[in-house]
Structure 1
Amino acid sequence: MSGNNSLIVHPRPSSIVASLYTLRDLNVDVAILHGPPGCSFKHARLLEEDSLHVLTSAMDENDFVFGGQQKLSKTIEKAVELFSPKSIALVGTCTSMIIGEELKDSAAVVSDDISVLCVETHAGYANNTSGVMAVLEPAAGLGLISGEELKRQRFLLQEATNVELRSGAASRGYLEPSRGDLKYKVAEHLLDLLKSGKKVMGILNAKKETAYMFADELLALWETAQLLGVSDNVVLFSNTDTNLGLPRVREHAKNIMSEFQKRGVVIHEIIGGLDEYAVTGGIVAALIHEKYPDFDAVLISGVPHALFMEPFAGMEIISITNGPRQVAPMKEMGHDYVVVEIDLHPKTLGISAIVPSEFGDTLRSICADQMQK
């Protein structure tokens, strides 16, 4: 049953949090959540590790009735005092939006040399991508992104929503979380494929900063193939186009591609940018049809469920996700093995280099042990 026709009761990403991450990707200095101190607590704290100062106006039950404009104004003054920012975002929450707080009224007191984005959002949208657009539209109005980039982002967000409705977290009324297949079992099987001379394709189709760990899966595949002397049987695709995306997203792609180069990893095909994971399926399909029709297996890391299944007909599909609720839908799609990198997200904030993955390290370890025997 599609997400359009079912009551979805498991937790899903919040539009407010999506707004915060988008502000981070625009390199905004300070985000002020106009709401209670606990709103989006976990992600707000995590983003402090990733160069975005997140404050709260700390609305309480009294403010729910009489309004919190005075508190927001004081929080803005404190933010300017603490951080001397060049840019500030005032971010709505369920509380402030329900009672009709006007963010622009408080924005008017900020000096002209500070860019102020008023982000009118709350957590009640059906799709968290609404929170992204709540940032990008005023950002375009301030000239932080072009009209063309706004149009591009709107298309990508719609496609990302479609992916989730079709085969992601919004595709079922309830999805049971799962840790997926055992990493050491899958790693042993992948090693067997490489040692037996099978041709293996590796595809990085990751979302933004999560690529710092998902890239390690391809790195481990390449290193293992080199140790076994079968790297000619491996081809790698990566959605790390350094010319596409918001400022922080392009920076992530540059960091990853630079590290691939330093470590001698050959990326045979660039399939898009780190914000294009939802639309790379057609490119991957065309490449397989035109250049790589005879491969035996594929390792997909990042957002595997966004890729079309038809091009992989006849291949074993080994996929790596960070979503425990993604395991069942991917198995139903036809992914033979699904591995979950459970702690990926907190490990990929505030960094600028590839970080080790559990599956990647498991593959390396088993390969090293087997070679010593």
Structure 2
Amino acid sequence: MQYIQPRPSSIVAALYTARDLGVDLAILHGPSGCSFKHARLLEEDGLRVLTTSLGETEIILGGQDVLEKVLIEAEEQFHPTRMAVVGTCVSLIIGEDMEAAIRNSGITTPTIAIEVHAGFRENIEGVMAALEPAAEAGWISEDELDRQRRLLAAANETERLRGAACKSYIQPSRGDLKHVVAARLMECVREGKKGVAILNAKKETAYMFADILLALHETSPDADITYYANLEDAGLDKVRRDAARIREGLREGGIDPELHGALDEYGAMGETFGTILQEQAPGFAVIAGVPHAIPPEYTEGIEVFSVTNGPRQVEPLKAIGHEHVVVEVDLHPKTLGVSEIVESEFGAVLRSMQ
């Protein structure tokens, strides 16, 4: 499909994957402004991002010497445990040999070169560009590489079928008014309807989406609601740590959810959670994170309350029959660098109605 709306960057995806691989210093080999916003955000999450600041001179004469100097300075000044050199459109165009620069620099810090640029239509290409050299370096196993490849394909298919990539352009929306949706949810609880609450969230976004479950339990502790979450212990190291912390936070809040899938399996959990909905046959369902992973045939006849962080996800969710859709607009920056569950706007509204 030819998209006419902005799509996630493969360079940014490579940076996030480097973070998940335990890299604590990344060097963007390109202009100083490349991926500026996300680089600054990732520094809030423990990944120091430097740049070789390539300009007109380097574009003409090459920037390998500059990269070698930055590698040496990075090691001497910051003493990282792992580094990654992340390519850009400029490094691709001028044909930079980033592997050679790493070798010639003489650094001893374990370092991988991620050959990536922004010309890919799918950001998962950036994820694989980071995972493949990580597997070659022995940072992850071949089995984990194959697992990640399968999960990325499933996530991509979910977005293509029912997500923000299902149309060439989707009008962004802030969703339904949170207080109106919260009032209806509390009404379902007061009417004694059976409920199911599902956390199916992507990686660190679960730190806020999990709060939806906590708020529901706090406001309706005696309600007939069963809780499920994709918080199993699997995936890259950071994903496992985040899942463990969120599980503990939920249990401290009085919720011991039934676990299905890991935080990187959100795109592949549609059939699993859909089958649960069919078996439980609830009067209502609250689905936080990636609600569109669940095919619509599983939610027919159920009043669905969806919580997403994508303004372009509202229209597709409404199209598959989700009656109530709310958006946590500032979720992403609020969940970087955190180690415990963060209060959500919708959760705060629910709590205000006690």
Class of the TM-score when normalised by the shorter of the 2 chains: over 0.9
Shift, 1:112, TM fit: 6.4
Shift, 1:59, TM fit: 0.3
State the alpha-carbon separation in 1 of the partners of residues 105 and 135 from structure 2. 19
- Contact preservation (8 Å) 1:224, 1:363: yes
State the alpha-carbon separation in 2 of the partners of residues 29 and 138 from structure 1. 16
- Judged with a 3 Å threshold, the aligned counterparts in structure 2 of structure 1 residues 196 and 345 are, in CA distance, closer, same or farther, namely same
What amino acid sits opposite 1:196 in the alignment? E
Shift, 1:80, TM fit: 0.7
- Aligned partner of 2:260 in structure 1 is 271
Shift, 1:289, TM fit: 3.6
Question: Are residues 1:256 and 2:246 paired?
Answer: yes
Match of 2:85 among 87, 90, 94: 90
- Aligned partner of 1:46 in structure 2 is 41
In the superposition, the TM-score normalised over structure 2's length comes to 0.98
Match of 1:331 among 318, 325, 335: 318
Shift, 1:288, TM fit: 3.0
| Aligned 1:18-167 pairs, distance under 5 A | 18-111=13-106, 113-167=108-162
- Aligned partner of 1:370 in structure 2 is none
Percentage identity across aligned positions? 51
What amino acid sits opposite 1:344 in the alignment? L
- Contact preservation (8 Å) 1:239, 1:270: yes
Shift, 1:283, TM fit: 1.2
State the alpha-carbon separation in 1 of the partners of residues 14 and 142 from structure 2. 19
Select between 305-314 and 330-339 the one with higher mean Cα deviation.
Answer: 305-314
- Judged with a 3 Å threshold, the aligned counterparts in structure 2 of structure 1 residues 12 and 96 are, in CA distance, closer, same or farther, namely same
Runs of 4+ residues deviating >6 angstroms: none
What amino acid sits opposite 1:253 in the alignment? A
- Contact preservation (8 Å) 2:199, 2:289: yes
What amino acid sits opposite 2:247 in the alignment? M
Shift, 1:48, TM fit: 0.5
Match of 2:165 among 165, 170, 178: 170
Deviation readout 1:95-136 (Å, 9 max, x if unpaired):
111111110111103446421111000011010000000010
| Aligned 1:289-300 pairs, distance under 5 A | 289-290=278-279, 292-293=280-281, 295-300=282-287
- Aligned partner of 2:227 in structure 1 is 236
State the alpha-carbon separation in 2 of the partners of residues 22 and 350 from structure 1. 15
State the alpha-carbon separation in 2 of the partners of residues 334 and 314 from structure 1. 9
Number of residue equivalences: 354
| Aligned 1:210-249 pairs, distance under 5 A | 210-226=205-221, 229-230=222-223, 233-241=224-232, 243-249=233-239
State the alpha-carbon separation in 1 of the partners of residues 10 and 142 from structure 2. 22
What amino acid sits opposite 1:198 in the alignment? K
Deviation readout 1:56-84 (Å, 9 max, x if unpaired):
00001221121111111111111112211
SS in structure 1 of the partner of residue 353 of structure 2 = helix
State the alpha-carbon separation in 2 of the partners of residues 64 and 257 from structure 1. 49
Shift, 1:312, TM fit: 1.8
Please provide the CA RMSD for this pair. Answer: 1.1
- Contact preservation (8 Å) 1:207, 1:302: yes
State the alpha-carbon separation in 2 of the partners of residues 311 and 46 from structure 1. 37
- Aligned partner of 1:301 in structure 2 is 288
Shift, 1:261, TM fit: 1.4
- Aligned partner of 1:280 in structure 2 is 269
- Contact preservation (8 Å) 1:205, 1:239: yes
- Contact preservation (8 Å) 1:321, 1:339: yes
What amino acid sits opposite 2:140 in the alignment? I
- Contact preservation (8 Å) 2:68, 2:105: no
- Contact preservation (8 Å) 2:305, 2:322: yes
- Contact preservation (8 Å) 1:86, 1:113: no
Structure 2 regions of 5+ residues with no counterpart? none
Match of 2:331 among 344, 350, 354: 344
- Aligned partner of 1:202 in structure 2 is 197
Deviation readout 1:194-253 (Å, 9 max, x if unpaired):
011011111101000000000000111111111xx32xx001110010x21110000000
State the alpha-carbon separation in 2 of the partners of residues 356 and 349 from structure 1. 14
Shift, 1:9, TM fit: 1.2
State the alpha-carbon separation in 2 of the partners of residues 329 and 312 from structure 1. 14
State the alpha-carbon separation in 2 of the partners of residues 287 and 329 from structure 1. 22
SS in structure 2 of the partner of residue 298 of structure 1 = strand
SS in structure 1 of the partner of residue 212 of structure 2 = helix
State the alpha-carbon separation in 1 of the partners of residues 227 and 331 from structure 2. 21
What amino acid sits opposite 1:216 in the alignment? D
Select between 31-40 and 80-89 the one with higher mean Cα deviation.
Answer: 80-89
Match of 2:343 among 356, 363, 373: 356
State the alpha-carbon separation in 1 of the partners of residues 297 and 216 from structure 2. 23
Shift, 1:173, TM fit: 1.3
Select between 80-89 and 252-261 the one with higher mean Cα deviation.
Answer: 80-89
State the alpha-carbon separation in 1 of the partners of residues 12 and 82 from structure 2. 18
Shift, 1:10, TM fit: 1.0
